[in-house]
Structure 1
Amino acid sequence: MKSAARTPVLVGIGVAHQREDDWRLALEPLDLMLHAVRAAGGDAGGAAALAGAQWIAVPRGRWKYTDPAGAIARAVGAGGATSVLASVGVSQQTLLAEACGRIARGEAHTTLVAGSDAGYRILRAQIAGERATERAEPGAPDEYWEPEEDLRHPVEKRAGLAMPVGLYAILESAFRHAHGWSVEEHRDRLANLYAGFARVAAANPDAWSRRALTPADIREAGPRNPMQAFPYTRLHCSTWNVDQAAALLFCSAERAEALGIPRAKWIYPVASTESNHMAAVSTRACLHECVGAAVAGRAALDAAGLRPEDLDVVDLYSCFPIAVESYAQALGLPLDRELTITGGMAFAGGPFNNYQFQSTARAARLLREGRGPHALVSCVSGILTKQGFGIWSREAPAAGFVQLDLSDEVARRSTVLDVRDAYTGPATVAGFTVVHGRGVAPRGVVLVDTPQGERALATTEDPAWVERLQQEEWVGRGVDVEGVGLRP
Structure 2
Amino acid sequence: MGENTPVLIGAGQFTYRGDPAASPSPTALLKIAAERAALDAGIGPAGLAGVDALAVVGYTIDSPGSKRGMIPHSVNPPASLARQIGADPRWSVYSEMGGNTPQYLINTLCERIARGEADLALTVGCEFLGSAMKRLGKGLSFDDWIADEPEDLPAPQRIGDPRAGSTAYEIRHGLSRPINIYPIFENALRARDGRSIPEHQRRMGELFARFSEVAVDNPEAWFPTRRTAEELVTVSEKNRMIGFPYPKLLNAIMEVDQSAGVIIASERKARELGVPEDRWVYLHGCADAADLWHPLDRQDFHSSPAMRRTGQKAFAMAGIGLEQVDLIDLYSCFPVAVEIGAEELGLSLDDPRGLTVTGGLPYAGGPGNNYVMHSVAVMLQKLRARPGAYGLITGNGWYLTKQSTGIYSTKRPDKPFEREDPAVLQREIDALPHPEIVERPSGRGTIETYTVVHKREGPFLGIVVGRDEAGRRFAANTPDDPGFLAAFEAQEQVGRTGTVRQADDGQTNLFVPD
TM range (shorter): over 0.9
Matches within 5 A, 1:333-372: 333-337=347-351, 338-370=354-386
Give the structure 2 partner of residue 321 of structure 1. 335
CA distance in structure 1 between the aligned counterparts of 2:156 and 2:229, rounded to whole angstroms: 48
CA offset at residue 146 of structure 1? Answer: 4.8
> Which of 436, 458, 474 is the matching residue for 2:454?
436
Give the structure 2 partner of residue 106 of structure 1. 116
How many residue pairs were aligned? 484
| 8 Å CA contact retained: 2:445, 2:469 | yes
- Aligned: 1:388 with 2:404: yes
CA offset at residue 278 of structure 1? Answer: 4.2
SS at match of 2:406: strand
Give the structure 2 partner of residue 418 of structure 1. 436
> Which of 434, 456, 481 is the matching residue for 2:500?
481
- After alignment, is 477-486 or 225-234 more displaced? 477-486
| 8 Å CA contact retained: 1:444, 1:465 | no
Give the structure 2 partner of residue 466 of structure 1. 485
CA distance in structure 2 between the aligned counterparts of 1:47 and 1:125, rounded to whole angstroms: 30
CA offset at residue 381 of structure 1? Answer: 0.9
Alignment-mate amino acid for residue 77 of structure 1: G
CA distance in structure 2 between the aligned counterparts of 1:140 and 1:391, rounded to whole angstroms: 36
| 8 Å CA contact retained: 1:83, 1:141 | no
| 8 Å CA contact retained: 2:292, 2:429 | no
SS at match of 1:66: coil
> Which of 190, 193, 197 is the matching residue for 2:204?
190
SS at match of 2:395: strand
> Which of 189, 192, 198 is the matching residue for 1:175?
189
CA distance in structure 2 between the aligned counterparts of 1:131 and 1:93, rounded to whole angstroms: 34
| 8 Å CA contact retained: 1:290, 1:384 | yes
CA distance in structure 2 between the aligned counterparts of 1:81 and 1:41, rounded to whole angstroms: 19
CA distance in structure 2 between the aligned counterparts of 1:371 and 1:319, rounded to whole angstroms: 30
SS at match of 2:220: coil
CA distance in structure 2 between the aligned counterparts of 1:188 and 1:142, rounded to whole angstroms: 46
SS at match of 2:18: coil
SS at match of 1:348: coil
| 8 Å CA contact retained: 2:123, 2:263 | yes
Alignment-mate amino acid for residue 437 of structure 1: K
CA distance in structure 1 between the aligned counterparts of 2:57 and 2:49, rounded to whole angstroms: 21
Give the structure 1 partner of residue 87 of structure 2. 78
Identity over aligned pairs, percent: 33
Give the structure 1 partner of residue 14 of structure 2. 16
> Which of 4, 7, 13 is the matching residue for 2:5?
7
CA deviations on 1:166-221 (whole Å, 9 max, x unpaired) are 11100111111122211111010001111111001001111111111111111011
Give the structure 2 partner of residue 448 of structure 1. 466
| 8 Å CA contact retained: 1:278, 1:386 | no
- Aligned: 1:31 with 2:45: no
With over 3 angstroms needed to count, the CA separation of the structure-2 counterparts of 1:426 and 1:341, relative to structure 1, is same
- After alignment, is 152-161 or 81-90 more displaced? 81-90
With over 3 angstroms needed to count, the CA separation of the structure-2 counterparts of 1:479 and 1:372, relative to structure 1, is farther
CA offset at residue 126 of structure 1? Answer: 3.4
CA offset at residue 328 of structure 1? Answer: 0.4
SS at match of 1:35: helix
CA offset at residue 439 of structure 1? Answer: 4.3
Alignment-mate amino acid for residue 231 of structure 1: P
- State the TM-score, normalizing by the size of structure 2: 0.90
With over 3 angstroms needed to count, the CA separation of the structure-2 counterparts of 1:473 and 1:441, relative to structure 1, is closer
With over 3 angstroms needed to count, the CA separation of the structure-2 counterparts of 1:418 and 1:403, relative to structure 1, is same
CA distance in structure 1 between the aligned counterparts of 2:257 and 2:477, rounded to whole angstroms: 36
Alignment-mate amino acid for residue 381 of structure 2: R
CA deviations on 1:315-337 (whole Å, 9 max, x unpaired) are 00111111111110000011002
CA distance in structure 2 between the aligned counterparts of 1:372 and 1:308, rounded to whole angstroms: 15
| 8 Å CA contact retained: 1:67, 1:137 | no
- After alignment, is 68-77 or 115-124 more displaced? 68-77
SS at match of 2:341: helix
CA distance in structure 2 between the aligned counterparts of 1:68 and 1:357, rounded to whole angstroms: 17
CA offset at residue 123 of structure 1? Answer: 2.8
| 8 Å CA contact retained: 1:312, 1:371 | no
CA offset at residue 100 of structure 1? Answer: 0.8
CA distance in structure 1 between the aligned counterparts of 2:155 and 2:419, rounded to whole angstroms: 24
- Aligned: 1:246 with 2:260: yes
Alignment-mate amino acid for residue 131 of structure 2: R
With over 3 angstroms needed to count, the CA separation of the structure-2 counterparts of 1:74 and 1:126, relative to structure 1, is closer
- After alignment, is 397-406 or 99-108 more displaced? 397-406
CA distance in structure 2 between the aligned counterparts of 1:431 and 1:462, rounded to whole angstroms: 20
CA distance in structure 1 between the aligned counterparts of 2:55 and 2:267, rounded to whole angstroms: 20
Matches within 5 A, 1:127-146: 127-130=137-140, 132=142, 134-135=145-146, 136-138=149-151, 139-140=153-154, 143-146=157-160
Alignment-mate amino acid for residue 174 of structure 1: A
> Which of 53, 56, 69 is the matching residue for 1:55?
53
Give the structure 2 partner of residue 376 of structure 1. 392
| 8 Å CA contact retained: 2:436, 2:473 | yes
CA distance in structure 1 between the aligned counterparts of 2:142 and 2:231, rounded to whole angstroms: 32
CA deviations on 1:109-143 (whole Å, 9 max, x unpaired) are 11110101112111321342446563143413552
| 8 Å CA contact retained: 1:237, 1:346 | yes
CA offset at residue 20 of structure 1? Answer: 1.8
CA offset at residue 401 of structure 1? Answer: 2.3
- State the TM-score, normalizing by the size of structure 1: 0.95
Tell me the C-alpha RMSD between the 2 structures: 1.8
CA distance in structure 1 between the aligned counterparts of 2:388 and 2:489, rounded to whole angstroms: 43
Alignment-mate amino acid for residue 446 of structure 2: T
CA distance in structure 2 between the aligned counterparts of 1:452 and 1:361, rounded to whole angstroms: 50
SS at match of 2:21: coil
CA distance in structure 2 between the aligned counterparts of 1:447 and 1:142, rounded to whole angstroms: 38
| 8 Å CA contact retained: 1:199, 1:343 | yes
> Which of 103, 108, 111 is the matching residue for 1:93?
103
With over 3 angstroms needed to count, the CA separation of the structure-2 counterparts of 1:161 and 1:140, relative to structure 1, is same
Give the structure 2 partner of residue 261 of structure 1. 275
| 8 Å CA contact retained: 2:458, 2:482 | no
CA offset at residue 73 of structure 1? Answer: 1.9
Unmatched segments (≥5 aa) in structure 1: none
- After alignment, is 73-82 or 198-207 more displaced? 73-82
- After alignment, is 284-293 or 48-57 more displaced? 48-57
CA distance in structure 2 between the aligned counterparts of 1:351 and 1:123, rounded to whole angstroms: 14
